[in-house]
């Protein structure tokens, strides 16, 4: 697999190794991101100067008060060197369609189990938190993941009959972000609640002809739809092509990189995909964006 091309355009491996040359340097960066205005000493009751304690991931105030920058982060209980973690984040943020745990295992030289766990934690950094409401024109659609359905019409029927198929709902703002939710069913209430939570009441929503969407105007939404069952895919500005592009990329990613994604991990995969999509215009800053999440994201209990 070739990572070199993507890396050259962004944050290079050379700059990465210079900046994060060892674990102390990585810890120092985590300290800075967690305490951008300096760390507060509970004993001295002021923002104090802290010094790194030798051989432990701990900082100490002159009064003897200790703080651990890793507490509450995805690195909290790790025995894997921080530099490996950072390199894993570097790989994840510098590839277009994702990295598998197998690749992480090979690139970092840890066990598959460790690579897989690291990957799970890193994905938490990619989960959209408080991204705000989607506005303007928003396309909404669902897709079934898993199975072999050839087209949507059949997917709907099979979705009812074959319980093993998982459903993702996507909401994409034209020219903006995508949100994706792994949903238990395509019922009206799940739909209405998700739309209220994620889409501005002033937005213009575009969908296909599925029944539940036809209720949207009752909830105050401006709604247009195309009738896929009549082979109508676009009527001027009315179409769902953006969300359909998202689906096809997402599915290609699943088959190409991960082979399969089980129901349990579908949401975390969708989060990873959405993270890449939502920061597609900041490819060069992807690592930093991911890094910035360290302070605000809690570790996953595994
Ligand atoms: Zn102190």
SS (H, E, C) the chain: CCCHHHHHHCCCHHHHHHHCCCHHHHHHHHHHHHCCCCEEECCCCEEECEEECCCCCCEEECCCCEECCCCCCCCCCCCCCHHHHHHHHHHHHCCCCCCCHHHHHHHHHCCHHHHHHHHHHHHHHHCCCCCCCECCEEEEEEEEECCCCCCHHHHHHHHHHCCCCEEEEEEEECCCCEEEEEECCCCHHHHHHHHHHHECCCCEEEECCCHHHHHHHHHCCEEEECCHHHCCCEECCEECHHHHHHHHHHHHHHHHHHCCCCHHHHHHHHHHHHHHHHCHHHHHHHHHHHHHCCCCCCCCCC
d(C-alpha 104, C-alpha 84), whole Å: 10
Q: Are 69 and 31 in contact (CB under 8 A)?
A: yes
Cα separation, 203 vs 264, in Å, equals 32
CB 105 within 8 A of CB 88: no
Q: pLDDT by residue (tens digit) across 166-197? A: 899 999 999 999 999 999 888 888 889 999 99
Ligand 1 center from residue 77 Cα (angstroms): 25
- Predicted pLDDT of residue 211: 87
Task: Give the side-chain half-sphere CA count within 13 A for 101.
Answer: 17
For the chain, the straight-line distance linking the first and the last C-alpha, in angstroms and rounded, comes to 30
In the reported structure, the alpha carbon of residue 292 is separated from the centroid of ligand 1 by a whole-number distance in angstroms of: 27
Measured in Å, residue 64 CA sits from the centre of ligand 1 at 6
Look at residue 99 in the predicted model and tell me its pLDDT.
84
Please give the distance, rounded to the nearest whole angstrom, from the Cα atom of residue 62 to the centre of ligand 1: 6
| pLDDT surpasses 90 at 41 | yes
Buried b (16+ CB within 10 A) or exposed e, 14-33: eebeeebeeeeebbebbbeb
For the ranges 79-88, 120-129, 260-269, the maximum mean pLDDT occurs at 79-88
Q: How far is the CA of 68 from the centre of ligand 1 (A)?
A: 14
- 30 C-alpha to ligand 1 centroid (Å): 20
The pLDDT > 70 percentage for the chain reads: 87
42 CA distance to ligand 1 middle (Å)? 7
The alpha carbon of 58 and the centre of ligand 1 are apart by a number of angstroms equal to 14
For residue 35, report the distance from its CA to the centre of ligand 1, in Å: 15
User: 137: phi > 0 → left, psi -120 to 50 → alpha, else beta; which?
Assistant: beta
| Residue 292: φ, ψ to 5° | -60, -25
HSE-CB of 246 using CA atoms within 13 angstroms: 32
> How many Å lie between the centroid of ligand 1 and the Cα of residue 99?
43
- Distance from the alpha carbon of residue 46 to the mean position of ligand 1, in angstroms: 7
The reported pLDDT for the residue numbered 101 is: 87
- Do residues 97 and 256 touch, judged by C-beta distance below 8 A? yes
How far, in Å, are 23, 31, 121, 241, 297 from residue 73 at the CA level? 16, 11, 10, 38, 6
pLDDT at 69: 95
Rounded to the nearest angstrom, the distance between the alpha carbon of 59 and the centre of ligand 1 is: 11
**pLDDT tens per residue across span 71-91:** 989 999 899 999 999 999 999
pTM of the model: 0.80
In sequence order, the β-bridge partners of residue 143 are: 168
CB 151 within 8 A of CB 143: no
Q: How far is the CA of 297 from the centre of ligand 1 (A)?
A: 26
Token code pair at residue 274: 């959405």
CA of 27 to the centre of ligand 1 (A): 20
> What's the mean per-residue pLDDT of the chain?
85
């Amino acid at each position: 697999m070739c990572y070199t091309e993507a890396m050259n355009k962004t944050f290079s491996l050379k700059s990465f190794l210079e900046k994060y040359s060892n674990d102390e340097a990585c810890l120092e960066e985590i300290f800075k991101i967690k305490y951008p205005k300096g760390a507060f000493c509970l004993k001295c009751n002021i923002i104090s100067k802290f010094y790194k304690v030798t051989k432990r991931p701990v900082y100490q105030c002159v009064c003897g008060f200790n703080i651990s920058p890793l507490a509450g982060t995805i690195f909290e209980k790790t025995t894997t060197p921080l530099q490996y973690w950072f390199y894993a984040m570097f790989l994840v943020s510098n590839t277009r369609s994702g990295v598998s745990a197998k690749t992480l295992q090979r690139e970092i030289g840890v066990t598959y189990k460790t690579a897989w766990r690291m990957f799970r934690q890193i994905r938490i950094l990619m989960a959209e938190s408080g991204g705000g409401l989607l506005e303007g024109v928003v396309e909404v659609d669902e897709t079934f993941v898993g199975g072999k359905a050839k087209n949507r019409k059949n997917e709907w029927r099979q979705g009812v009959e074959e319980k093993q198929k998982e459903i993702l709902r996507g909401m994409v703002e034209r020219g903006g972000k995508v949100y994706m939710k792994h949903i238990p069913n395509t019922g009206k209430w799940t739909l209405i609640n998700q739309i209220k939570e994620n889409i501005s009441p002033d937005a213009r929503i575009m969908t296909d002809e599925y029944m539940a969407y036809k209720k949207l105007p009752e909830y105050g939404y401006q709604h247009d739809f195309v009738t896929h069952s009549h082979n109508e895919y676009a009527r001027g500005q009315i179409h769902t092509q953006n969300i359909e592009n998202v689906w096809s990329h997402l599915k290609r990613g699943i088959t190409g990189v991960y082979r399969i994604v089980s129901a349990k991990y579908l949401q975390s995969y969708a989060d990873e995909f959405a993270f890449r999509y939502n920061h597609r215009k900041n490819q060069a800053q992807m690592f930093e964006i991911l890094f910035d999440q360290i302070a605000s994201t809690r570790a996953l209990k595994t």
